[in-house]
Structure 1
Amino acid sequence: MILVNTDYVSGKEVETLSIVKGSTVHSKNVGKDLLSGLKTLVGGEIVAYSEMMNEARAIATKRMVKEAEQLGAEAVINIRYATSAIMQGSAEVIVYGTAVKFK
């Protein structure tokens, strides 16, 4: 599966199938959340949250790819990510794009 954030795949003519998406909501456990809160006092990267967001993006992307594969897509173009806070310490990640086949 080819994944790109452009609206084309270089050298390929595409047939649009449908918009596809994947999402997940992730949170850290209370212990890590408290430690991360203390980190805000001194500044710097909050590694636990960086890891959480990387994991969430990977899961959301996998779900989007699965949806595209079910349509018989060969690529997903124009991919975009968005995040939103659901509550303190948790976030939703959604990824979406256009599933296409090559002509």
Structure 2
Amino acid sequence: MLLVTTENISGKELKHIGLVKGSTIQTVHFGKDIGASFKTLIGGELTSYNEMMEEAREIATERMIDEAVRLKADAVVGVRYSTSSVMQSAAEVMAYGTAVVFK
């Protein structure tokens, strides 16, 4: 599945099928959350949260692709990501775009 952030694909004529999306809500293990709390005291990168968000983006992207495949799309254009905090230490990641077929 071709994914692009642009609205067009060079050299292709597109027919829009519709919006496709995928989302997930992720959190870190309680122990890692406590460790991250201590890290905020001394500063630095919160690697457990980076890993959580990377995994969430991958899951959301795969769910978006699955929806596009069900629609028999050739590609998804205008791919975007959105995040929001659901509760302390939990975040939702949504991937979305427009499913298209090549004419």
TM-score under structure 1 normalisation? 0.99
Partner of 2:51: 51
What is the aligned length?
103
- Determine if the alignment matches structure 1 residue 75 to structure 2 residue 75: yes
SS of 2:80's equivalent in the other structure is strand
Q: Distance in 2 between matches of 1:61 and 1:88?
A: 23
- Aligned ranges 1:1-103 → 2 under 5 Å: 1-103=1-103
- The 1-side partners of 2:9 and 2:38 are apart by 45
Cα deviation, residue 100, structure 1: 0.1
Computed over aligned residues only, the root mean square deviation of the Cα atoms, in angstroms, reads 0.4
TM-superposition CA deviations, 1:51-84 (whole Å, max 9, x none)? 0000000000000000000000000000010000
5+ residue gaps, structure 2: none
* TM-score, normalization by structure 2: 0.99
The letter of the residue matching 1:79 is V
Aligned to 2:34, the other structure's residue is in SS state helix
The residue matched to 2:81 in structure 1 has which SS? strand
State the Cα distance separating 1:29 from its structure 2 match.
1.1
Q: Identity of paired residues, percent?
A: 54
Deviation at 1:35, TM superposition (A): 0.1
The DSSP-based 3-state class of the residue aligned with 1:33 is helix
Q: Which runs of 4+ in 1 moved over 6 A?
A: none
Unaligned runs of 5+ in 1: none
Q: Shift of residue 22 of structure 1? A: 0.1
Counterparts of 1:81 and 1:37, CA distance in 2: 26
